[in-house]
């Protein structure tokens, strides 16, 4: 038993670690540039820097955000790449230098070329602002943004008098471009060169921060993501918790009654209705209900789309339970009806299965009263799978509650997720996915452990199968 538990929990941690590695790399690949966003947020809106000057501006911020370190514990790149390629900052620079390197295979030359572009730019910066220098700045911007060497050549090829003041730099660039365009990476330069980066890497610091509960700062409004989550989680818990409670309260008695009743045509009809209820998409019902409930001419005005902030301000359930519950009623109903329908038929099938067990027949022949038979002997056995079932449906519930929260404007996790997605706030999005998957994995494992703890028969077969 203990070994089984230990095994399960260790695989759980391993799979969560795998998820966090995947999410980390996804976050890194998200198309928004964190440093740029932060810089923009500070300079209030427009933030333009010449690509050749950008790296300096960029590096300071990147160091602050821990972005100047290798990504992972180890790295594997073609042998022609330098070990310290991660030190190149600024996405445009990385893109161009990488492309040039892949085409030519000579890192020293690529670096000299890029440095000569930067040197040229710095020389222009020092001279006074004339039309000529502005022209060359534009040309340089083009060169620095283009990995096509022939385009760089054409950018240099202008009339002699325009080249005259900077002739040294231009000659140097042209020379380097010529040398670069004759280079190709050798066959063996593509072989991987594995490298060990040690523990001082981006993933390690990100992961250790997350373990300590610091998931980062939202790039949208600069608030800690954890605070935002803490505000949102109670709402989702309320909606989901009430929905589960309501569903069980309806499903348990109904399922038992349906199992006890003799089989008839009516029972089949009811079963069909339950199936239909389960198949009824909640977001459809939600959007139809929303129209009914928010238009006063239909007589319903207990729900208001903007009523949430009121509730938030005035302290939720404890201070004003009735408006609170009324406000929650619609989303909870939408979440609950499908679940209730499913649980009813589930309860019905488990209860009738229990009723057909030999020990029930024995109890019946002993002459136990019906109430005692059903509630003392059958119910506990039928209830067990139901309770275990809850943990297993958590992922589906959370998925469903995203759309419901968006429809009814509930300030819960689902809406926060969609909002941060639409505003490209990747830190929030991915720490969110991580949190939800931790919760889900816990729920799944809890249901497994509950099942094993309560029913030794399952444990035996499982252990046989796993070993």
Partner 1 sequence: MKLKIFFALVLFLAVFGDWIANEKPVYCKYQGKAYFPLIEVPFVKLGWMDWPADFQNDNWRNLPYEKVIKTLVPYSPETIDRNNLGLKSPFAAQNKNGFWERHWMGTDRIGRDVLAGWIRGFRLALSIGLLSISIAGILGIFMGGLAGFYGNDRFHLPVYKSFFLLFWLVGFIYWIYQGFETNGSNLSILIWLGIWLLIGVLVYYMPVIGKRIALPIDWMISLIIQAIDAIPALFFLLALLPLIENPGLFHVIILIAFIRWTGIARLVRAEFLRIRDLEYIQAAQLMGIKNFHICWKHILPNAMGSVWITFAYSFAGAILLEAYLGYLGIGMPAGTISWGSQMQQVRENPAAWWLAVFPGLAIFLILFSLQKMGEKLESKVS
Any contact of residue 161 with partner 1 (CB under 8 A)? no
Torsion of CA 140, 141, 145, 150, to 10 degrees: -40
Of residues 93 and 404, the one with the C-beta less far from partner 1: 404
Of residues 355 and 394, the one with the C-beta less far from partner 1: 394
Question: Which window, 131-139, 159-167, 184-192, 211-219, contacts partner 1 (CB under 8 A)?
Answer: 184-192
Single residue of 343, 441, 451, 452 touching partner 1 by CB under 8 A: 441
Single residue of 31, 46, 159, 306 touching partner 1 by CB under 8 A: 31
Here the tokens at position 155 are 């950018």
CB 218 within 8 A of CB 224: yes
Q: How far apart are CA 387 and CA 199, in angstroms?
A: 43
Of residues 190 and 375, the one with the C-beta less far from partner 1: 190
Q: How far apart are CA 382 and CA 359, in angstroms?
A: 14
CB 450 within 8 A of CB 397: no
Where do the H-state alpha helices sit in 409-455? Answer: 413-422, 426-454
Question: Which window, 10-18, 54-62, 206-214, 316-324, contacts partner 1 (CB under 8 A)?
Answer: 10-18
Q: How far apart are CA 232 and CA 228, in angstroms?
A: 6
Here the tokens at position 380 are 């506990």
Q: How far apart are CA 370 and CA 367, in angstroms?
A: 9
What angle is formed at CA 333 by the lines to CA 328 and CA 338, rounded to 5 degrees?
Answer: 145
Q: Residue 194 is inside which H or E element, if any?
A: strand 192-196
Any contact of residue 183 with partner 1 (CB under 8 A)? no
DSSP 323-377: HHHHHHHHHHHHHHHHHHHHHHHHHHHHHHHHHTSHHHHHHHHHT--HHHIIIII
Question: Which window, 144-152, 188-196, 357-365, 382-390, contacts partner 1 (CB under 8 A)?
Answer: 188-196
Any contact of residue 267 with partner 1 (CB under 8 A)? no
* Closest separation in Å from C-beta 185 to partner 1: 7
Q: Which residues of 426-463 are buried (b: 16+ CB within 10 A; e: fewer)?
A: bbbbbbbbbbbbeebbebbbebbbbbbeeeeeeeeeee
Any contact of residue 102 with partner 1 (CB under 8 A)? yes
Helix-then-strand count for the chain, H and E:
22, 2
CB 350 within 8 A of CB 382: yes
Any contact of residue 437 with partner 1 (CB under 8 A)? yes
* Closest separation in Å from C-beta 287 to partner 1: 5
Any contact of residue 143 with partner 1 (CB under 8 A)? no
Single residue of 4, 5, 30, 65 touching partner 1 by CB under 8 A: 30
Where do the H-state alpha helices sit in 65-166? Answer: 91-104, 107-126, 131-145, 149-156, 160-163
Any contact of residue 467 with partner 1 (CB under 8 A)? yes
Any contact of residue 279 with partner 1 (CB under 8 A)? yes
Any contact of residue 94 with partner 1 (CB under 8 A)? no
Which among 209, 241, 208 is positioned nearest to 226, based on CA atoms? Answer: 209
* Closest separation in Å from C-beta 31 to partner 1: 7
Any contact of residue 18 with partner 1 (CB under 8 A)? yes
Any contact of residue 280 with partner 1 (CB under 8 A)? yes
Any contact of residue 370 with partner 1 (CB under 8 A)? no
* Closest separation in Å from C-beta 347 to partner 1: 16
Any contact of residue 160 with partner 1 (CB under 8 A)? no
Question: Which window, 6-14, 38-46, 83-91, 316-324, contacts partner 1 (CB under 8 A)?
Answer: 6-14
Any contact of residue 19 with partner 1 (CB under 8 A)? yes
Of residues 174 and 455, the one with the C-beta less far from partner 1: 455
Of residues 199 and 291, the one with the C-beta less far from partner 1: 291
Residues 282-341 that bind partner 1 (CB under 8 A): 283-284, 287-288, 290-291, 294-295
Binding mask 402-431 for partner 1 (x = CB under 8 A): xx--xx---------xx--xx-x----xx-
CB 331 within 8 A of CB 408: yes
Strands (E), 25-98: 74-78
Of residues 8 and 69, the one with the C-beta less far from partner 1: 8
Any contact of residue 29 with partner 1 (CB under 8 A)? yes
Give the residues lining the site for partner 1 (CB under 8 A): 11-12, 14-16, 18-19, 22-23, 26, 29-31, 76, 78, 102, 185, 187, 190-192, 275-276, 278-281, 283-284, 287-288, 290-291, 294-295, 395-396, 398-399, 402-403, 406-407, 417-418, 421-422, 424, 429-430, 432-433, 436-438, 440-441, 444, 465-467
């Amino acid at each position: 038993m203990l070994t089984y538990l230990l095994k399960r929990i260790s695989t759980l941690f391993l799979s969560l670690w795998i998820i966090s590695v995947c999410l980390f790399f996804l976050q890194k690949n998200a198309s928004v540039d964190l440093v740029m966003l932060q810089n923009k947020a500070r300079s209030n809106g427009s933030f333009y820097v010449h690509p050749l000057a950008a790296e300096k501006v960029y590096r300071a911020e990147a160091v602050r955000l821990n972005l100047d370190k290798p990504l992972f514990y180890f790295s594997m790149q073609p042998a022609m790449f330098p070990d310290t390629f991660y030190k190149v900052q600024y996405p445009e620079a990385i893109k161009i230098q990488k492309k040039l390197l892949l085409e030519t295979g000579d890192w020293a030359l690529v670096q000299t070329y890029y440095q000569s572009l930067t040197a040229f730019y710095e020389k222009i910066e020092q001279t006074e602002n004339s039309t000529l220098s502005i022209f060359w700045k534009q040309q340089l911007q083009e060169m620095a943004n283009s990995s096509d060497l022939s385009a760089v050549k054409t950018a240099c090829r202008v009339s002699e008098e325009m080249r005259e003041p900077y002739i040294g730099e231009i000659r140097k660039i042209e020379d380097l471009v010529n040398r670069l365009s004759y280079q190709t990476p050798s066959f063996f330069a593509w072989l991987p060169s594995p490298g060990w980066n040690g523990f001082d890497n981006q993933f390690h610091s990100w992961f250790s921060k997350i373990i300590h509960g610091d998931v980062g700062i939202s790039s949208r409004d600069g608030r800690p993501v954890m605070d935002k989550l803490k505000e949102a989680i109670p709402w989702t818990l309320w909606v989901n918790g009430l929905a589960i409670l309501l569903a069980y309260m309806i499903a348990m008695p109904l399922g038992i009654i349906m199992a006890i009743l003799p089989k008839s045509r009516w029972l089949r009809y009811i079963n069909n209705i339950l199936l239909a209820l389960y198949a009824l998409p909640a977001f459809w019902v939600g959007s139809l209900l929303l129209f009914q409930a928010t238009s006063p001419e239909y007589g319903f005005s207990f729900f208001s789309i903007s009523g949430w902030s009121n509730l938030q301000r005035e302290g939720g359930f404890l201070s004003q339970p009735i408006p609170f519950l009324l406000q929650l009623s619609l989303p909870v109903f939408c979440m609950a009806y499908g679940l209730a329908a499913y649980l009813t038929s589930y309860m019905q099938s488990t209860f009738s299965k229990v009723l057909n067990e030999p020990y029930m027949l024995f109890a019946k022949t002993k002459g136990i009263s019906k109430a005692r038979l059903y509630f003392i002997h059958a119910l506990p056995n039928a209830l067990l799978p139901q309770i275990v079932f809850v943990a297993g449906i958590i992922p589906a519930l959370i998925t469903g509650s995203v759309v419901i929260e968006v429809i009814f404007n509930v300030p819960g996790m689902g809406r926060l997720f969609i909002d941060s997605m639409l505003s490209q706030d990747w830190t929030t999005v991915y720490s969110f996915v991580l949190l939800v998957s931790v919760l889900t994995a816990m729920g799944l494992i809890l249901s497994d452990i509950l099942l094993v703890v309560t029913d030794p028969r399952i444990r035996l077969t499982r252990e046989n199968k796993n070993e």
